[in-house]
Structure formats: C-alpha cells, structure tokens
Structure 1
Amino acid sequence: MSESRGPNDAQPTFPGANPPAAGGAAPPGAPGRPAAPPPAGGVPGRPASARPAGQGLTLLALGVAGLALLLAFGSAIFAWRAIDQAKDAKEIALRPAAAGTAATGGPDGGQPTTSAPTETESTAPDDTPQSPGEAPALNERTVYRPRYEKEPLLVKASCSYSMYADLDEPRAKNDEDGADVRFTMGCGNDASTLRLEDGVEGTDAASAGMTPQECADKIRTAPISDNQPVPVRKGTAICITTDYGDAKAHGRPWRMALIEVVGVANSGAATLQVTGWDIPDA
C-alpha cells in the first residue's frame, strides 16, 4: 500500500538538479518558458555599443579632407588679396607726382588748386625744333661770343635822306646792301629816326649796358613792328639780331647788337655806340 504525501512534504533531490525558485518560478531556460529577447538594435551574442572599425577610419578621412579644403580656400583668399594690393601699388607708382593736389582738388575737397607760373615758366622760350633756314630760339643756354664793344658810328644825311649801318663789321654806309639799320635825317621839327631793315628783328625797350640774353628776352616780348620809326634822341637804345638767312647765305655769324644813341647834333646827325656778339648755331 502506497504512502500518501502532503503538500508540505519535502521532495527528494537529485544531483545536478536546480532547486525550484521561490514561489514556484521556473529557472531561465526551463522547458516551457521562452528565453529573454536580445537587446534592442543589437545582435545576439554582441554588445549593442560596438561599431565596425572601418566606420571610424571613414570619419577620420572626412575630417582631414574638410580641413584641407578650408586651408585651400584660405590660401586662395590670401593670394587674391595680395594680387589686389600689388595692383593698387602699381597704380599709385605710375600716377604722375604732379597730379596730386592739383588733379584731385585741395585737402578740404574744394576746387583743384594750381600754382602760379614762376618767372622761368612765363618767360622760357619754346624749345620746338626750328624749320631749316629759321633762326633758332635764344634762351639762357645760348652762349654769346663778344665781337666788338662800344664802337662809335656817326650817321648823318640830307633832309629826309637816309644813311645805313652794317652791324656785322660795324660801319656806317650810304647804300643799303647788307645793312641792318636805316637812319633817316629829320626835317624841320621832325626828329631823325631809325628803322630796321628786312630780316632784322629788334626792340626799343632796351637800355644801356644790357646783356645779350636780356636783349633776346626783350626782342621776344616787346618787338619793333615792321617799318616802325624809332625817334633818335640821346639815351635811346635798341637791341637787334641781324638777318639770319642773309648771314648764313654769306657764311657770316648771326649776331646780336646793342645800339645806344650817345649824342644828337643840332643838324639831326647822331652818334651811335654799338656792341655786338656772335650767336653760335644751336
């Protein structure tokens, strides 16, 4: 006859058997109970946080490429800026120095200012090349060679008649061949006069003791007009240049002369004192 057991009676144990969990729960993996699901997003048997090694290398390469791109972009900006500054420097260097304030106006933004011409600028002769056969311009670079100094000439004639002066030698003469100045005797109350011959240029805005360059400046700025009579009075002075074309045709030097009237007789005759310089070819 079998022995009956109550609910609290101890169950026999066997080696290797797991004791039942408290409250009657079966152990994990026990028959009849499903196993626990793997972690979300993971792979069974591998931790969820682990990443493939190739993915890290890809990120590193992208970072290096981005840095290289930034450096290249910065270098391009620097080079462009350097070229722009070089262009500005070149424009400033080529800009005429004289254009400064005059071209852009005064420092206060007003109208451009221009300086008044100096004496040299207002009196300097034109350096434009002369045509063949035309007398060269005379200026401060011209070198005059003394020819004669304070040579006296007595000029006289009958009423309304003329006598001439050749200032290449110098000498007084009765014919006009090679003459530079014509003296005409006055009649009655008319004063005797001096006139320049053809090809001769001169000025009556002269004075005793003038230099040849001073004479040249006065001839240029205050010339005697064609056939203009100059009254002969004591103290009258005339500067003249001889006929350039005639001098070259006869192989003579071109000359500058200063004529001073140092005496006038009651008859109208005049005593002249002349000083001459040779003008070398330019």
Structure 2
Amino acid sequence: MFACVIRGEHVWEIARLPGLAAFRDTLAVFEAWDYADGQIAAVMQDPPPDCAIPLADVRLEAPLRPRQIFCTGANYRRHVAELTAKQTDPVTAGMSSDERVAAAYAMMDERARNGVPYAFVKLPSAVTGPYDHIVLPAGVEEPDWELELGVVIGRPVRRISRENALSAVAGYVVANDISSRDRIYRADMKVIGTDWLASKCQESFLPLGPFIAPARFVVDPQDLRIELKLNGQTMQDESTADMIFDVARQIEYISSLVRLLPGDIICTGSPAGNGTHYQRFLRPGDVVEGTITGLGTQRLTCIAEPVQP
C-alpha cells in the first residue's frame, strides 16, 4: 500500500518522485501539506515516465486513514425542511402542507443565520475503500446511506475564523456516512438521545474515495453535485449549495471545540434522499454508487455480516 498521484490512466508512487521519498502514506503527505503539495505539483508538470504504473494494475484502497473524523448532521435545507414539514405541533397544526414547508424553510434560514452546526465524531475504524463491501451488521434492520462531501484538513487549526477556514483545507473526497437508523436512539435511555457508536461506527460504515482532489482543483466547494445511485436508480441528487452551514462555517465551529489535525476528515452532511425517505434500506446484494463533481465515483456492494463460528 502506498500514497500515489493519479493522472488519467496512470499512477505515480509519491515516495518515488524527486524530493518526496519520505511520503510513503497519505497521512505523511497531509502532515507536511504545504511543502508536499507544492513539490508534487512541480514534479507532475513533467512526471518521470519510468515511475508510471497503469491504473488498471493497482487496487485503490481508502485514500486516507485519518486520526479524527467529524460529521455534521441535519445540514441540507431541503432535506431538513421536508422532514420538519411532516411533523405537526400546536403552531403548525392548522397550516396547510405548503405553509408548513414554507415555515420549515424559514426556520432553516434562521438557523443558518444564528445557529451552530450539529457535529459529532465517527471512529476511524469505520473507514473502508471506494470499491469494497459495505458489511451489513447482523441484527440491524435499517442500514441507510448518506452520501457526503468529505473535507480533508491540511494543517493544525484551532479557533480559525470562517473567513480563513478554507485555507486549512488540503482537499476533498467522496464519503458515505452509512448509518443504522434503528440504532440511533436508545429505547431504554431516551433522555440521553443519540447513540452514534451503535449507529455509525460499524466496520465499513465510512467508504472513502476513490481519491482526494487537492483543494486547488475545487473552485467552490459549495457548487458541487452530489449523486447517489442504488442499483442504478438515483436516490440522492443535490448541490452542496443547499448546505445550511457551508464548509467554512463547519470548520470554524468544530475548531472552536477541538484542535483539527492534518489528515482529519469532516463529513459535511447529506442531502435529501436517504433510505429513510423512501423507507427502503440497504440489503445484501445492493450496489451503491456515489459521485461528487470532480471527485470520482465509488462503487460498493452490500454483503451480510459473516456468521462467526
């Protein structure tokens, strides 16, 4: 396993490029991102042909094994507004469906102006590759998909401002925050709320890749198309422009709580079209394809968790 640069139908092992022998894995690259990115860009202007390997001859694993993974929930306006509009309370009970939707959008806009992101953590052991299996755990009844834009941090940051936050971004990656919906809430401890360990940290519950696009190639992270297909049928199709809290605001907020480290990943929320919306959850044999503009496509097959002897 090695860190590489992908261009067209060939890859170059980074550690074999001039001046880059120390960078044998991608975490090492991001720990020295400012130097490594510039050096890689300079070398790849005229890449050494004798180091090129046909892409067809390599297996792409997860492009990064991060130390910390952060996720934000309820972060797309249409998604949250539609869910909110389905709920009734004393204020909305007398409203028509259209009026409830309008009220929900107004609430989302107010949250964007004066609220904060809803952030939580996910274990690095959940990471899997872009063409691997999604293992559906025994006993889980509602395994769901959540295609998301992943943000890779390129330098240590603490309490960075929204205006400067994107300067800390090294690159972007396709991420799928697989979730067990039936395990999010503990029936025996409702007052405590969500149980992210049980619902989101299972093996293979964070497919990453196929590659990380350096930030200089992504003109605007708020202008990317997110599309997920289940067995060839489009289930999610939305622009990152619909985020309630944009990438910069999320970095600002998370870094106000903890120190972000090079190679950390922030999964920035998932748009409308999850399995919960369709009441159709993942099953063994399902093929899940996730695409984000300029970041490639991951393709994973769902399998049942193997029975332990």
> TM (normalized to structure 1)?
0.19
> TM (normalized to structure 2)?
0.18
Rg larger for: 1
Greater length-normalized contact order (CA 8 Å, ≥ 6 residues apart): 2
Higher strand share: 2
